[in-house]
Homo-oligomer: A and B are copies of this chain.
Amino acid sequence: MNQASHHVVVVGAGFGGLEFTRALAGAPIRITMIDKRNHHLFQPLLYQVATTALATSEIAWPIRHLLRKRKDVTTLLANVVGVDRAGKNVLLDDGGAVAYDTLLLATGARHAYFGHDEWEPFAPGLKTLEDATTVRRRILLAFEQAERETDPAKRQALLTIAIVGGGPTGVELAGTIVELAHDTLRGEFRNIDTRQTRVVLIEAGDRILANFAPKLSTYAVKALERLGVTIELGRAVTRCDADGVVFGDKHLAAGTILWAAGVAASPAAEWLGAAADRAGRVLVEPDLSVPGSPEIFVVGDAAHVLRPDGRPVPGVAPAAKQQGRQVAATLKARLAGDTSPRPFRYRHDGDLATIGKRAAVIDFGWIKLTGRAAWWLWGIAHIYFLIGFRNRLAVSLSWLWIYATGQRSARLITQGDDDKG
């Protein structure tokens, strides 16, 4: 193998793909980075765009700008539609093909509706910048419509926001939305009192934040209820429509439903014709390669990887980054002639979730934090992981402004809304 001409194709510039590319700096290879978006998205803060705290550009960066100094990397904005494993080609939607020697698929996940895709128009999820501006528009429009509504029952339905899924995203949305309604918007309407907004968090399991220690779940329930969030446990959602949401024997009239419940992997498994789990994640070898194609790797939310104790590796940024680094190390070893298998071992750093702007829960295993101290640690950690001084400064400024004044800077209703009247 002529190493200097070894061509690596990366599909997806999320946390996994980007970390892989970074770890290969200086390696004797050429890299082509393909993404259907022009930007890397800092997904952990996406809910803050959806709830008007941050601007879209504060959590997204042009991929080619991030990789501008890497002359060995060519960035392409393109839609992948398949992989020709035999011919070692990535197939594009314009009929083009990109040949690879090594391929990394880091294509992430979308939200999924457990076989009920008909719910999507009524219950948008949160994975892309457009998702975030859609959710933002839905929430803000509900208040605008309530201000014009004269029927008290319809008005209360418009002021009811149901969030499906009690994981970190659902908890963070619930805390932020109730603060938006009760604090930020208070006093700006004449016909409604935004403090009468109901935020209902619906979780099918028996506790929220199921990945955290039970006492942190208990704390989170108390903190959310103190903010004014209603929590409904133990009943799965069986219907979402324009009138609201049904869970168990209960119908909740809600003008806005947000989906934070399920994810499904991108079509990487279909492209490969490879075996996948129920959520569509590729069943990879211990070294994250695809069975039968040692030159293809899958990382992040697109891959099904187990921890030593048999639980799945969670779909979080640190897991994707660790996998990206692991595959980069494997590839560098192979280029150096060492083809011994290098199984991936996930190291879990901890779980974090904010509850509004004054509390958070942090579970590092060896230490558990709640309240204001946890919130500050959460904030500092996320500022740290943002890319670039400019964005760190901008996000810090936005947060301090909200903290001090309660005012949010990105309360914009933009774009049309084709999917729901």
Where the two chains meet, the residues of A that have a C-beta atom closer than 8 Å to any C-beta of B are 37-39, 55-58, 60, 62, 64-65, 68, 71, 73-78, 96, 129-130, 133, 140-141, 144, 147-148, 187-191, 390-391, 393-394, 397, 401, 407, 409-415
Contacts and interface: CB of A to CB of B under 8 A. Distances in A.
23 contacts: A37-B413, A38-B140, A38-B413, A39-B412, A55-B55, A55-B57, A56-B56, A56-B412, A56-B414, A60-B412, A64-B188, A65-B188, A65-B407, A65-B411, A68-B188, A73-B190, A74-B190, A75-B190, A76-B144, A78-B148, A130-B414, A133-B414, A391-B409
B129 A76 contact: no
A393 B394 CA distance: 10
Contact of A390 (B39, B73, B409): B409
Closest 6 CB pairs of A and B: A57-B410, A77-B144, A55-B55, A38-B413, A74-B190, A68-B188
B144 A38 contact: yes
Contact of A38 (B148, B191, B412): B412
Contacts of A401: 390
A121 to B, nearest CB: 16
A327 B58 CA distance: 41
A147 B190 contact: no
A384 to B, nearest CB: 19
Nearest to A416: B130
A55 B394 CA distance: 11
Contact of A58 (B39, B55, B74): B55
Given A129-B412, A130-B415, A189 B64 contact: yes
A27 to B, nearest CB: 17
A373 B144 CA distance: 44
Contacts of A394: 394, 397, 409
A57 to B, nearest CB: 4
A247 to B, nearest CB: 31
B191 A74 contact: yes
A409 B57 contact: yes
A383 to B, nearest CB: 16
A74 B129 CA distance: 32
B415 A415 contact: yes
Contacts of A64: 188-189
A221 to B, nearest CB: 32
A182 to B, nearest CB: 15
Given A71-B190, A390-B409, 11 more contacts: A55-B56, A55-B58, A55-B410, A62-B188, A62-B411, A75-B190, A76-B144, A76-B147, A77-B148, A133-B414, A390-B407
Nearest to A191: B74
Contacts of A55: 55-58, 410
Contacts of A71: 190
Contacts of A413: 37-39, 77
A189 B65 CA distance: 9
A89 to B, nearest CB: 16
A397 to B, nearest CB: 7
Contacts of A68: 187-188
Contacts of A130: 414-415
A57, A65, A190, A415 interface centre (most CB from chain B within 10 Å): A57
Nearest to A150: B96
Nearest to A187: B68
